[in-house]
Chains A and B, each alone.
Chain A
Amino acid sequence: AQRVTQPEKLLSVFKGAPVELKCNYSYSGSPELFWYVQYSRQRLQLLLRHISRESIKGFTADLNKGETSFHLKKPFAQEEDSAMYYCALSAGTSGSRLTFGEGTQLTVNP
């Protein structure tokens, strides 16, 4: 079974502070991990994917298979980063579903 856990429903930081959104997963195979973001009144959109190992909007995430984690990090948070962030897992097979975590609402205060 696939499962994704985001332990923090709410996270509040000040502008310029580092931010880390936690994500843990369980899956017996080799998953693909994603972070999706939903800005206020906008649709879910892909932020980044573990395989690409790229930094988007200053965010990075490293897949730690030993700890089964895929935490999202940014060294200096900006006010425009305020949004709902969802960690998601795919089994990686063709057409497979996304399993989402509960989401973390990030608020970056001025």
Chain B
Amino acid sequence: EPEVTQTPSHQVTQMGQEVILRCVPISNHLYFYWYRQILGQKVEFLVSFYNNEISEKSEIFDDQFSVERPDGSNFTLKIRSTKLEDSAMYFCASRETSNSYEQYFGPGTRLTVT
């Protein structure tokens, strides 16, 4: 069964550095999402992406964040200048069409900012 994949599984970076988290959504899916979960807190929506543009973003998703689908298969989340509070588990998800309801989640990337 097709699955969403994410790399790396764990990323350690220093404060102020740029990081790129990578996701490969399920191949025929059209909607893509990033969520994050700070340790001990709830899963929070960051951004959704459709038709090569952001369709919705949360207040968390400020100018430090950007998303891209550079080659038709990868979906990336970039954090330009990481802060300590960006340490979290980042989940990518994809959904097939506007008529489908299920979002399929990747295993997550644990980002640790030191």
- A interface residues, Cβ below 8 angstroms from B: 32, 34, 36, 42-46, 49, 51, 86, 90, 94-103
Contacts and interface: CB of A to CB of B under 8 A. Distances in A.
13 contacts: A42-B107, A43-B106, A49-B101, A95-B31, A95-B56, A95-B95, A97-B56, A97-B58, A98-B33, A98-B43, A100-B43, A101-B42, A102-B42
B25 interface: no
Contacts of B106: 43
A95 B55 CA distance: 8
Contacts of B50: 95
B107 A43 contact: yes
Contact of B98 (A94, A99, A103): A94
Contacts, number: 52
A51 B102 CA distance: 12
Interface of B: 3-4, 31, 33, 35, 41-45, 48, 50, 55-56, 58, 91, 95, 98, 101-103, 105-108
Given A43-B107, A44-B91, A99 B45 contact: yes
A22 B17 CA distance: 41
A86 B107 CA distance: 16
A100 B41 CA distance: 10
Given A43-B3, A46-B103, A90-B101, 8 more contacts: A43-B106, A43-B108, A44-B91, A51-B101, A86-B43, A95-B95, A97-B56, A98-B33
A38 to B, nearest CB: 9
B105 A43 contact: yes
A32 B42 CA distance: 19
A66 to B, nearest CB: 24
Contacts of B56: 95-97
B39 to A, nearest CB: 12
A86 B103 CA distance: 14
Contacts of B43: 44, 86, 98, 100, 103
